[in-house]
Amino acid sequence: TGCPNLEELELICCFVNIIKFSSTKLQRLTVTTTDDRSISCLGFEDMVIDMLKLVSLDIKEVPDRNLYFVDVSSLETASVCIDESSFASSQVDCNVLSALSNVTSLRSLSLTVRHNPDKSIAW
């Protein structure tokens, strides 16, 4: 729905309240969120990316979303930045590394997830 022929989408400094990105035509996706955590912290939900034709992906710090990929088998280049605010807990089913197995150019993969005693997250 909306823009069925869209091939490139950039959501820059946006409040991302999307549970699933799905498209049969989108080839390039860029997502960054607003720096204002007061409006982005609404509780954890999955953020699913299911895009068969996606060839380029750039995700920067999307807090409070459990990032999960369904079909990104055409992905060639990726840049993914996730940290301890990207997942609800260590029990989250995270498939970021396995989903990027077909990527031929990984510009950066920042997995800066650390144990934080205040949040009870052990990675």
- CB burial string 52-86: b at 16+ within 10 A, e below: ebbbbbbbbbbbbbbbbbeebeebeebbbbbeebb
Residue 121 pLDDT level (bands cut at 50, 70, 90): very low
Q: Say if CB 63 and CB 37 are below 8 A apart.
A: yes
26-49 tens-digit pLDDT: 999 998 876 555 555 455 577 889
Q: Quick check: 10 pLDDT over 80?
A: yes
What is the domain partition of the chain in residue ranges?
A: 8-112
Do the beta carbons of residue 33 and residue 63 sit within 8 Å?
yes
pLDDT tens figures, 73-84: 999 999 887 766
Q: What's the confidence (pLDDT) of residue 57?
A: 94
For the entire predicted model, the pTM comes to 0.74
